[in-house]
C-alpha cells in the first residue's frame, strides 16, 4: 500500500486557525461562442452566477473540505459583499468569531467571467477586482491581534494567507509569530507577492510560488534545482524551519533546516484553472502538520491535492476520499480500470468537478462480440469518460437462467477493461442499475441499439437529476444468444 494512504488514515480533525485577507469570489458563467460586432471581444451569453469564499476564506474552506475544525481571523467591509462572505463561512461550518468589520474599507471582491466554447470546457475570460490595499487602522490591528493571541493555544496550527490587501501587517504578524512560537504552534505562511519577506521572519514554513520566490530573492528560477537555491536563501533570511517553493507542472522544491533538500515531481494534468492551487497546498500542509505527519509526507500529499485542485474551476474543496481515490487509481491501464461502485462514485465526483462528462452503460456482456465493441466505441464519443457496469454472475443467472453466464464476471470485466474505448469497469450484483446510478450520477446513460429509449432501465433515475439517456446504433446479426445458438447447433448430436 502507498505510504501516503497510511498517513491519510492517520489524520484526525485538528483545530486550525486561518488568518489573512478575506475575499468574495463572484463567478458569471455563460456561452462564449461569437465575437462582438462592436469590438474584437468575446460576447458572453450569461446563464448562471455563483459566489464562493476567496483569499484566506478559500483556505479555510479547503481545510474544512479536508475535515479540519477551522476558525478564521480577518477583516471584512461593512457591506453586502461582507455579509455574503459571512454567510458562506457559516454554511461551511467555519468559526468566524475573529472576523472584524471595518466600515472604512470595502470587502475585496474578484468578479470572474467564465465562458464555455461549444457549451463545454469552461475557461476564465476576464476578471474584475474591487479592493483596497491600505494597512489596517492601528486600533483595528490591535483588536485583531489581541483576539488571535488570546485563543492561540486552542489551535494546533496557524495558516497565514497574505494577499497583500492590508490585513497581514508587519506588526500583527510579528506578534502572531512570537506568540505561536512560544506556544509551540506551527505557523505556515503563503506569502504575498512582495519583495520584502521581513514580515514573515520566524515563521515555521513559507510556501511561495515560483513568481513570488523570484521577486523575494531577486533571482530567476527556471528549474527545480534553482528553486532549491532560492528556497535555501529565503529560509536563511527569514529564519524559517523550512521553505517550500511550488513550481506548477515542475512540482515542488523543499528545503528543511538540518535535513536534505527534496524535489517532488507532479503528475501531468489537464489544467482548467490554477485558482486555489496555492491555497490547497497551504491547507494540506497545515492539516498534516497539525496531525503530526512529517513534513516530507505532508509535501507529497499537498502536491497531489494541488494537482486535483487545478483540474477544477475556481476554488473547490478536495476531500480526503478523493485524494485516496487518486492514490489508488492509475488511469487507462488494464486491471487498474477495475473499480468498486464506491470508488467509482468518488472518481465520478472528481471528474465532475473538473468539468468532464461521464458516460455509463451497463449489461451482462457475456461473450463479448462485435456488436458490443461497436456500441461501446460509439458510447465513448458521447462524453469524456466511459464507465461500464457489468452484471455479476448471480444477477445474470437470475435474469437469464442457470446456464448463463458462459464467462465469469471477472473475466468479462477484464475483457471490457482491455478495450481502449472503456475507462472504468465495475461489477454490480443488483437486478437493476438504479442504486449505482444514484451513487455515480453519470451525465449520460447509454444502451445498445436493441433497446428503445423508453425501455432503458434506470432512465427515470438519470433524467430526474438532469442527465441524458441515449441509444446507440445496432450491428445487425450480432448477439450473444445467436452466437450460443450457432455454437450449440455445430456440436455433434
CA distance 318 to 475: 43
Examine the residue annotation and report whether 102 is marked as an active-site residue of this protein: no
Write the DSSP string, 165-206: SSSS-HHHHHHHHHHHHHHT--EEEE--S-S--GGGTT-SEE
Report if pTM > 0.75.
no
Q: How far apart are CA 444 and CA 247, in angstroms?
A: 37
Catalytic residue, chosen from 31, 279, 366, 393, is 279
Q: Supply the pLDDT for residue 340.
A: 86
pLDDT at 257: 87
Structure confidence at residue 313 (pLDDT): 53
For the 334-490 domain, the top CATH level (class) is alpha beta
All 3 cell numbers of residue 72? 478564521
What pLDDT is attached to residue 331?
A: 42
Calpha distance 79→101 (Å, rounded): 9
Residues of the chain with pLDDT under 70: 1-5, 118-122, 266-276, 309-316, 325-326, 328-336, 353-354, 474-493
Q: Where are the domains of the chain?
A: 3-327, 334-490
Q: Which CATH architecture has domain 3-327?
A: 3-Layer(aba) Sandwich (3.40)
* Measured CA distances, 205 to 34, 231, 476 (Å): 47, 11, 66
pLDDT the model gives residue 268: 47
Residue 70 has a pLDDT of 97
* CB burial of residue 347 (10 Å; 0-12, 13-18, 19+): buried
Cα separation of 324 and 331, whole Å? 14
User: What pLDDT, on the 0 to 100 scale, is given for residue 333?
Assistant: 44
* Predicted local confidence at residue 306, as pLDDT: 80
Complete edge-to-edge strand list for the sheet that includes strand 358-363:
424-428, 385-391, 358-363, 444-447, 468-471
Question: Tell me, what's the pLDDT at 266?
Answer: 67
Amino acid at each position: 500500500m502507498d505510504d501516503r494512504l497510511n498517513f491519510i488514515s492517520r489524520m484526525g480533525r485538528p483545530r486550525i486557525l486561518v488568518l489573512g485577507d478575506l475575499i468574495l469570489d463572484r463567478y458569471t458563467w455563460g456561452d462564449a461562442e461569437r465575437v462582438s460586432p462592436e469590438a474584437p471581444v468575446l460576447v458572453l451569453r450569461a446563464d448562471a452566477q455563483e459566489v464562493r469564499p476567496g483569499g484566506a476564506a478559500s483556505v479555510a474552506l479547503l481545510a474544512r473540505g479536508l475535515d479540519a475544525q477551522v476558525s478564521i481571523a480577518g477583516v471584512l467591509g461593512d457591506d453586502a459583499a461582507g455579509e455574503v462572505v459571512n454567510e458562506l463561512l457559516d454554511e461551511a461550518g467555519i468559526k468566524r468569531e475573529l472576523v472584524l468589520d471595518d466600515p472604512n474599507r470595502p470587502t475585496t471582491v474578484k468578479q470572474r467571467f467564465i465562458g464555455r466554447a461549444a457549451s463545454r470546457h469552461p475557461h476564465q475570460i476576464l476578471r474584475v477586482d474591487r479592493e483596497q490595499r491600505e494597512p489596517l487602522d492601528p486600533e483595528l490591528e490591535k483588536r485583531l491581534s489581541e483576539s488571535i493571541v488570546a485563543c492561540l493555544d486552542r489551535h494546533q496550527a496557524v495558516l497565514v494567507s497574505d494577499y497583500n490587501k492590508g490585513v497581514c501587517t508587519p506588526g500583527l504578524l510579528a506578534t502572531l509569530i512570537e506568540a505561536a512560537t512560544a506556544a509551540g504552534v506551527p505557523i505556515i505562511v503563503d506569502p504575498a507577492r512582495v519583495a520584502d519577506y521581513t514580515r514573515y521572519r520566524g515563521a515555521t514554513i513559507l510556501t511561495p510560488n515560483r513568481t513570488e520566490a523570484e521577486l523575494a530573492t531577486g533571482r530567476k528560477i527556471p528549474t527545480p534545482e534553482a528553486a532549491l537555491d532560492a528556497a535555501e536563501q529565503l529560509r536563511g533570511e527569514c529564519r524559517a524551519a523550512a521553505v517550500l517553493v511550488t513550481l506548477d507542472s515542475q512540482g515542488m522544491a523543499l528545503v528543511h533546516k538540518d535535513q536534505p533538500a527534496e524535489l517532488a515531481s507532479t503528475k501531468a494534468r489537464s489544467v482548467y484553472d490554477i485558482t486555489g492551487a496555492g491555497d490547497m497546498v497551504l491547507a494540506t500542509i497545515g492539516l498534516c502538520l497539525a496531525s503530526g505527519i512529517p513534513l516530507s509526507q505532508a509535501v507529497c500529499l499537498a502536491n497531489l491535492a494541488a494537482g486535483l485542485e487545478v483540474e477544477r474551476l475556481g476554488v473547490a474543496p478536495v476531500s480526503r476520499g478523493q485524494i485516496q481515490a487518486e492514490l489508488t487509481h492509475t488511469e487507462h491501464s488494464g486491471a487498474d480500470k477495475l473499480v468498486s461502485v464506491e470508488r467509482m462514485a468518488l472518481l465520478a465526483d472528481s471528474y465532475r468537478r473538473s468539468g468532464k462528462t461521464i458516460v455509463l452503460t451497463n449489461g451482462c456482456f457475456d461473450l463479448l462480440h462485435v456488436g458490443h465493441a461497436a456500441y461501446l466505441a460509439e458510447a465513448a464519443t458521447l462524453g469524456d469518460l466511459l464507465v461500464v457496469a457489468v452484471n455479476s454472475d448471480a444477477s445474470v443467472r437470475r435474469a437469464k437462467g442457470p446456464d448463463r453466464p458462459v464467462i465469469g464476471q471477472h473475466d468479462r470485466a477484464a475483457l471490457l477493461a482491455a478495450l481502449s474505448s472503456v475507462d472504468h469497469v465495475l461489477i454490480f450484483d443488483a437486478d437493476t442499475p438504479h442504486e449505482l446510478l444514484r451513487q455515480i450520477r453519470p451525465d449520460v446513460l447509454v444502451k445498445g441499439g436493441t433497446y428503445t429509449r423508453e425501455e432503458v432501465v434506470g432512465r427515470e433515475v438519470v433524467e430526474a437529476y438532469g442527465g441524458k439517456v441515449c441509444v446507440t446504433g445496432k450491428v445487425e446479426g450480432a448477439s450473444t444468444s445467436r452466437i450460443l445458438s450457432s455454437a450449440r447447433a455445430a456440436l455433434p448430436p
